[in-house]
């Protein structure tokens, strides 16, 4: 049974909400995924398309998710059901809950890697690499060590479960208060270090000057997927966070803050990684190990590198946790609202199931490295299904729902409840109707045809 407002905590403050939503958005997607994907897909050209996708698809869909969430005070399934009862639109909600399961299952594996790097920083295990090749080999060996990977995976998932059990007003809000400013400060320091390395400018050029001849349909596909993933869109995570928002808050400025925070941190991370990559003579196309191959060498050669390494991987682990929390919260909210489960049971049971589904992903670089059904590892399949299919389809359907089914008029009323002035209403209405759904559809069809 849907039970709006029963047992639902609310964010304590406006800043608390913005920080929590930013905590969901900012995570491994910005720090780990963005640099290696940008590196593999042409650098500056990719970055440009990613920014365009963020502005014309990400921004309007984020506001739509916040709006549906605050209007209904429900999880994604309950929300679509309550706005248009008895219609198939509830399917968006189910897809979202499924996407939450899948994304968290491999996300927690990578979260475990970063947690392991905190421990390895503390124990002086990763502070002696003189070049990225050595650091990369070490990383490859580590992720191939199934027992160790599963151990950290379990710890990461355990911490996520522990925080989500306490609910939004307890755990989630607090964790984000300290994290965001600390992360920005750390990245600025690292950027300065990176930019002062010999040969750094070549990296800046690769990263910032788009070579338009490099743009292909494939690059557009990946850039759009990255925009969804980085902003936590397309599966109702932002919808769920919006459902804990008191009615008086201003949704439009919260949207702008979260998008700027998230995009800013990704761009900053690029300025940390690419100058260092080129200064060290590494290829930007190195793949998922990129950050883990470059940073230990950067830390080794900088003042107080030992401490910097611990703090950096520590902050990254916290950033990953605040994202993982939002993924588990979607699944949890569904079982609480729709199935009437107590929070504790929902978190423990579903967290446990998600951990189990993640095990083959954790083994994908070790014992299961040679198991590649349809040419991809289990890890890559789960990422691909969730990030490249469920999120864009979910986002597109959400846009269509708000623009044409629920209607921009109703959405507008909700956005402007309590004297908010919606400065960019005309822009939002235009992109949510005509641009966002069409853009995703085109990109998605191109993907199917390919």
Which residues here bind ligand TRP, judged by CB under 6 A? 24-25, 27-30, 103, 229-230, 232, 235, 237, 323, 326-327, 391
Q: Cβ closer to ligand TRP: 100 or 305?
A: 100
CA nearest 251: which of 434, 14, 54, 79? 14
Distance CA 122, CA 299 (A): 13
Residue 121 vs 263, nearer CB to ligand TRP: 263
Q: How far apart are CA 206 and CA 431, in angstroms?
A: 31
In the complex, what is the shortest distance from the CB of residue 221 to ligand TRP, in angstroms, rounded to a whole number?
Answer: 16
Other beta carbons less than 10 A from residue 195's beta carbon: 16
Instruction: Measure the CA–CA gap between 265 and 267, rounded to whole angstroms.
Output: 5
CA nearest 83: which of 103, 65, 63, 99? 65
Secondary structure (3-state) at 418: coil
What is the closest distance, in whole angstroms, from the C-beta atom of residue 391 to ligand TRP in the complex?
6
Instruction: Give the nearest residue (CB) to ligand TRP.
Output: 29
Q: How far apart are CA 77 and CA 270, in angstroms?
A: 36
Give the nearer residue to ligand TRP in terms of CB position, either 41 or 230: 230
Separation CA 114–CA 310 (nearest Å): 10
25 or 62, CB closer to ligand TRP?
25
- Both tokens of 237, joined, read 């995570």
d(CA 264, CA 184) in angstroms, rounded, equals 9
> Of 66 and 138, which CB lies nearer to ligand TRP in the complex structure?
66
CA triplet 157, 241, 151: central angle to 5 degrees?
5
Q: How far is the CB of 401 from ligand TRP (least distance, A)?
A: 17
Q: Are 114 and 273 in contact (CB under 8 A)?
A: no
345 by DSSP, 3-state: which?
Answer: helix
Q: How many residues does the chain have?
A: 450
- Say how far apart CA 327 and CA 368 lie, in whole Å: 26
Beta carbon of residue 248, minimum distance to ligand TRP (angstroms, whole number): 26
Which of 223, 297 has the CB closer to ligand TRP?
A: 223
Instruction: Select 24 or 408, whichever has its Cβ closest to ligand TRP.
Output: 24
Selection from 8, 315, 347 nearest residue 162 by Cα: 347
Kindly state the smallest distance separating residue 114's Cβ from ligand TRP, in Å: 11
Q: Which residue has the tokens 């490295």?
A: 369
Kindly state the smallest distance separating residue 262's Cβ from ligand TRP, in Å: 7
Distance between CA 433 and CA 447 in Å, rounded?
A: 22
Q: Which is nearer to ligand TRP, 20 or 280 (CB)?
A: 20
The minimum distance between CB 200 and ligand TRP, in angstroms, equals 26
41 versus 323: smaller Cβ distance to ligand TRP? 323
CB of 168 to ligand TRP, least distance (A): 14
Please, what is the minimum distance in Å from the beta carbon of residue 387 to ligand TRP?
A: 7
């Amino acid at each position: 049974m849907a039970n709006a407002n029963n047992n639902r905590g609310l964010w304590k403050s406006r800043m608390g909400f913005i920080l929590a939503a930013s905590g969901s958005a900012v995570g491994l997607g910005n720090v780990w995924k963005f640099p290696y994907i940008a590196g593999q897909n042409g650098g500056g050209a990719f970055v440009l398309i990613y920014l365009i996708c963020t502005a014309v698809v990400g921004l309007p869909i984020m506001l739509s998710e916040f709006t549906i969430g605050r209007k209904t005070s429900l999880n994604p399934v309950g929300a679509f059901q309550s706005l248009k009862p008895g219609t198939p639109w509830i399917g968006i909600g189910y897809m979202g809950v499924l996407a939450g399961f899948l994304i968290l299952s491999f996300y927690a594996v990578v979260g475990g890697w970063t947690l392991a790097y905190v421990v390895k920083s503390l124990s002086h295990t990763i502070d002696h690499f003189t070049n990225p090749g050595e650091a990369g080999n070490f990383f490859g060996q580590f992720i191939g060590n199934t027992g160790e990977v599963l151990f950290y995976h379990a710890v990461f998932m355990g911490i996520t479960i522990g925080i989500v059990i306490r609910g939004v007003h307890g755990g989630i809000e607090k964790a984000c208060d300290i994290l965001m400013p600390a992360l920005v400060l750390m990245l600025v320091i690292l950027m300065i270090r990176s930019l002062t390395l010999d040969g750094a400018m070549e990296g800046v050029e690769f990263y910032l000057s788009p070579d338009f001849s490099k743009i292909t349909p494939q690059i557009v596909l990946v850039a759009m997927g990255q925009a969804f993933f980085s902003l936590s869109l397309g599966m109702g995570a932002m919808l769920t966070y919006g459902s804990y928002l008191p009615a008086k808050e201003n949704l439009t400025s919260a949207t702008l803050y979260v998008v700027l925070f998230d995009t800013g941190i990704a761009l900053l991370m690029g300025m940390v990684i690419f100058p260092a990559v080129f200064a060290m003579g590494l290829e930007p196309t190195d793949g998922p190990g990129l950050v883990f191959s470059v940073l230990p060498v950067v830390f080794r050669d900088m003042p107080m590198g030992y401490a910097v390494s611990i703090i950096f991987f520590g902050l990254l682990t916290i950033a990953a946790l605040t994202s993982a929390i939002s993924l588990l919260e979607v699944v949890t909210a569904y079982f609480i609202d729709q199935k009437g489960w107590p929070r504790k049971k929902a978190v423990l049971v579903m967290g446990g199931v998600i951990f189990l589904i993640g095990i083959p992903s954790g083994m994908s670089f070790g014992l299961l490295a040679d198991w590649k059904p349809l040419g991809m590892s289990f890890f890559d399949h789960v990422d691909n299904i969730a990030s490249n299919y469920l999120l864009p389809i979910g986002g597109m359907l959400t846009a269509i729902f708000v623009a044409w089914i629920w209607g921009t008029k109703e959405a507008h009323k909700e956005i402007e409840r309590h004297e908010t002035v919606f400065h960019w209403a005309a822009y939002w209405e235009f992109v949510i109707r005509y641009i966002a759904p069409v853009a995703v559809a085109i990109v998605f069809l191109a993907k199917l045809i390919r």
